Structure 1
């Protein structure tokens, strides 16, 4: 499926809005991105949290930490197979090797804290009408005339019967647009009331303050998907060099990087 006709996602919209040329390099030219330990950190934490929630929170701390450790090691080893020189990895620390080691320990700590935090959490995972637990829940809806797909980390059901999208974050970057899209998609796909959403902040071991979605409309969210989709179909991929070039995983193939 070509990039012009494929369904859209929140990550596609945000990547295009940040730098259309990065979108082009990664999704049209298929440039292989530089590895980053933070990517495997996030993926492994999500795997552990998902398994824990699907166990009805009966999984032990050690079992959850083991899942994180295994998934992290698998991801790191796969990336090392593609790029063994860790000095070429993107890193939030002084070098790729120290970042790999630090995130292994940090991710284990965060997984442990998640399980301990959940022991005092009263919210229940929402079950879809067909009986699925809403954890890593796939959706495909049409917004602004554009097919939009994604995975919601978790939907929880509040005491008043409304449903709340929850996104698990291991980093510092949070996207309100992501929560808005999840809220609109949940309403449309399951016909339930969604008035707020939140993030679980793994760095702090707690939930964020609720984000109100009461005034978020399908039209407003759909307009951003429609604008991005139209620009891609027109082949409009200008570069926007700046501070974010430092964290761009395809900058090695970009002649216009800052």
Structure 2
């Protein structure tokens, strides 16, 4: 199968790799054929929450709760309106457990509540954000590093300075799916780029308003992370995009263009 050069040669990411591993055909439809995905309010919800918390953390946690909630509201509305421009029929939006229009409204209120709670949680849980040697705060920190012979890029939600001197990657989650591979990638990337210890990582779980248990990373080897990127990169370059239809098809945003969907 012929593959466009841009997808062959671009840097990889955790999201690309996990999407390919879940279903190579979805990867092909979305990233090679450029099928326009169906909108989902959960995507706007997650992005808007991240945007609000990023600004709050970069302010040194100085913003009042009302400002953080407004940041969420403005960004969520912007993203939903863009989705409506592409697909005005909310019945065609991806949603779980309720119609698309109701899901949009539900997540607007839920996201506001979660943004407000994060500020209250932060006041009760002081956190030192790690700063890079050049003075950049470890919030939405971009990285580009070679793993398994493959260029890998991404953004880390937050890097926390622990009392023992190590640095802890933290990912902010509004959904239920958590990826250890994501945290592992962050760990090996930060070790390589800054030569610092990364012993553990965690998630902030917005649905529960708390931190997860720490994921232990002291025994993590770079090779085991790099191998997954190398395998995925090699498969894409040889044009291998196996379809894996199943339960996940109902949450696939390009299933409308897929002949394998269940």
**TM-score tier after normalising by the smaller chain length:** over 0.9
2:68 maps to: 64
Alignment deviations for residues 52-93 of structure 1 (CA, whole Å, 9 cap, x no partner): 001100100000000000000000001101110000000013
1:40 CA displacement: 0.3
RMSD (Å) for aligned C-alpha atoms: 0.7
Q: TM-score, normalised by structure 2?
A: 0.98
Q: Any unmatched runs of 5+ in structure 1?
A: none
Runs (4+) of structure 1 exceeding 3 A deviation are: none
- Secondary structure of the residue aligned to 2:7 is coil
2:255 maps to: 251
- Secondary structure of the residue aligned to 2:202 is strand
Distance (whole Å) between structure 2 residues aligned to residue 123 and residue 82 of structure 1:
40
Alignment deviations for residues 171-200 of structure 1 (CA, whole Å, 9 cap, x no partner): 000000000000111111111100000000
- Secondary structure of the residue aligned to 1:228 is helix
Instruction: Find 2:154's aligned residue among 150, 154, 158.
Output: 150
1:4 maps to: 8
1:136 and 2:137 correspond? no
- Secondary structure of the residue aligned to 1:2 is helix
1:221 CA displacement: 0.3
1:94 CA displacement: 2.1
Kindly tell me the number of residue pairs found equivalent between the two proteins: 258
Q: Any unmatched runs of 5+ in structure 2?
A: none
Distance (whole Å) between structure 2 residues aligned to residue 55 and residue 256 of structure 1:
47
Instruction: Find 2:190's aligned residue among 177, 186, 192.
Output: 186
1:215 maps to: 219
For residues 1-258 of structure 1, the aligned pairs below 5 Å read 2-258=6-262
Distance (whole Å) between structure 1 residues aligned to residue 147 and residue 121 of structure 2:
35
1:121 CA displacement: 1.3
1:103 CA displacement: 0.1
Distance (whole Å) between structure 1 residues aligned to residue 208 and residue 261 of structure 2:
34
Distance (whole Å) between structure 2 residues aligned to residue 75 and residue 175 of structure 1:
24
Alignment deviations for residues 188-230 of structure 1 (CA, whole Å, 9 cap, x no partner): 1111100000000000100000000111111110000000000
Alignment deviations for residues 16-43 of structure 1 (CA, whole Å, 9 cap, x no partner): 0000000000000000000000000000
Q: TM-score, normalised by structure 1?
A: 0.99
